Amino acid sequence: ERALLARRAKIIHFVRNPYDMVLSNYLYHSQEPTPEKWVHKDDPCMTWYENKETLASNVLPSIGTDEINDKYFYNIFKMCRSLYQSKSSMWNSTFYEHLLELDPGDGLRLATAQMVAASGYANRHKAGGDVARMANNIVKLKELQSYMPSEVEVL
């Protein structure tokens, strides 16, 4: 982190209201047709990375609390699995098809699970878990500020 600052790197990090993020995620990806192809391939409940770590194992050291812990992420995973490919009529359905077919409340819950705890395997981990990653990034930025307060500017 310090080596990055020593090179005078500029980092831009956008922060959004997590409730707005998950609602936007649901509405955006349930459009007909969907604007992004990965929703046809992604498992919104996939929490593992190729190195056998999880999103939780990467963010809990920064954002973990008594309430936000391994059990919290596991409960999100269980809820996600209760919605995704859990009915015989939807065993082969994609994330996108679930967003279209589930009632809006369950579709929003599934999209929320994808935004909080998923690893984003289908798109090489570039999406999924955005809410947890955002919180982690905020904590890391505050750490950078404490290391070098005169070098880190927050606008």
Q: Which residue has the higher pLDDT, 136 or 99?
A: 99
The one-character DSSP state at 48 is B
Query: Which pLDDT score, from 0 to 100, does residue 8 have?
Result: 61
Please tell me the pTM assigned to this model: 0.80
Q: Which residue has the higher pLDDT, 97 or 11?
A: 97
Long-range contact pairs involving 87-93 (C-beta distance under 8 Å, separation at least 24): none
Which SS3 state, helix, strand or coil, does residue 10 take? coil
47: nearest Cα among 79, 94, 22: 79
Give Cα 68 distance to the centre of its chain.
Answer: 14
Q: What is the mean pLDDT of residues 97-118?
A: 93
The one-character DSSP state at 33 is S
Query: Which pLDDT score, from 0 to 100, does residue 59 have?
Result: 82
Distance between CA atoms of residues 118 and 55, nearest Å: 7
Distance between CA atoms of residues 114 and 128, nearest Å: 5
Query: Which pLDDT score, from 0 to 100, does residue 41 have?
Result: 86
